[in-house]
Amino acid sequence: MGKNLEPKLELLEKKLLVSVKTDLKNTYFKKFYNDFFKLPIPKPLKFVLSENYMVCWMSYDEILIIADLKLRNDLLKKFDTFNKKDDLLIFDVSDTRSILKLTGDNWRNVISKGCPRDISKENFRSNSFFRSRLSSISVAFWLNSADSISIMCPKSLTEFTFNWITHSKNIDNISNIY
């Protein structure tokens, strides 16, 4: 038996998604962040992981925290202790996004059909995270492993995004781009 060329697509369970806008270079915020997460602030177009949290670089003044929903209260209580609240904007965006997971050897060929970014192995490697478009949908991508990618899309467009990927991943539609 050969490899299954058609990647597997699944809708993941709801996650805690918290957007934090602040000056990421601010000394006070960096200490607060490091004391809680025990992680470096992610570099541009990257994410960092701990046992409980994934922290993604969104822009020069924004990070996205992804975690299990059961950690919501602990995380929000911790941010309530941040003394410089005027310098911080925090949103729980969990109800506005869905996360899909595409797994298989041909995921790059599927995604490249609708994404203008270079997702070759040379440019999209472990701990890569970026925002782009898939078809005409605003999405974020991150690499789970060499053969798996996560796609975060607006919740209102989950069905469209799922159906678009389902059509594009059909073995008859996969072309060998990568």
Tokens matching residue 48? 């960092």
Give pLDDT, residue 96.
97
* Mean pLDDT for back-to-back runs of 10 residues, the chain (178 residues): 73 97 93 95 96 96 97 94 83 97 93 93 92 96 95 97 92 65
Residue 162 carries which DSSP code?
H
How is domain 16-95 classified at the CATH fold level? Alpha-Beta Plaits (3.30.70)
Q: What is the CA radius of gyration of the chain?
A: 17
Domain ranges of the chain: 8-12+96-169, 16-95
Give pLDDT, residue 2.
44
Q: Does domain 8-12+96-169 match CATH 3.30.70.270?
A: no
Tokens matching residue 158? 């989950």
How many whole angstroms separate alpha carbon 149 and alpha carbon 62? 22
pTM for this one?
0.90
Provide, for the chain, the percentages of residues in helix, strand and coil under a 3-state DSSP scheme, each rounded to the nearest 5: 30, 35, 35
